[in-house]
Structure 1
Amino acid sequence: MIEVTRLNGKKLTVNAELIERVEELPDTVITFTTGNKIIVKESRQEVKNLVILYKKEVLCREL
């Protein structure tokens, strides 16, 4: 799970495993495999970095 910020400033925790794509249009839109979309304050690169950190954390727990 990663924490992102909606445009209204509220924090939201989302399942990083369900992210299908992240686009900057110019706002950052996260599209999930379910078809749901959210707009967040973080940049596309920030979301990517959060997902990478999450994946690293998960992999370290499995070792």
Structure 2
Amino acid sequence: MTTTEFQVTGMTCGHCEMSVREEVERIAGVESIDVSAQSGRLVVTSSSALDQDAVIAAVDEAGYSAVAA
């Protein structure tokens, strides 16, 4: 298991969290996601090495910006 943390900007509510979660869940190997609009934090646990660019692209697709923390 690999855990990777990202800082996400632009999230303000639970709907924002759900949008990010739905996009990131589509990435192969993702096991769990913890996302918080309040802290702007996204923690992704995956079964193997995570493609950080894929996570950043997924967050972008949801309408927000992310950088690896």
TM-score over 0.5 for the alignment? Answer: no
Based on CA coordinates, which of the two structures has the bigger radius of gyration? 1
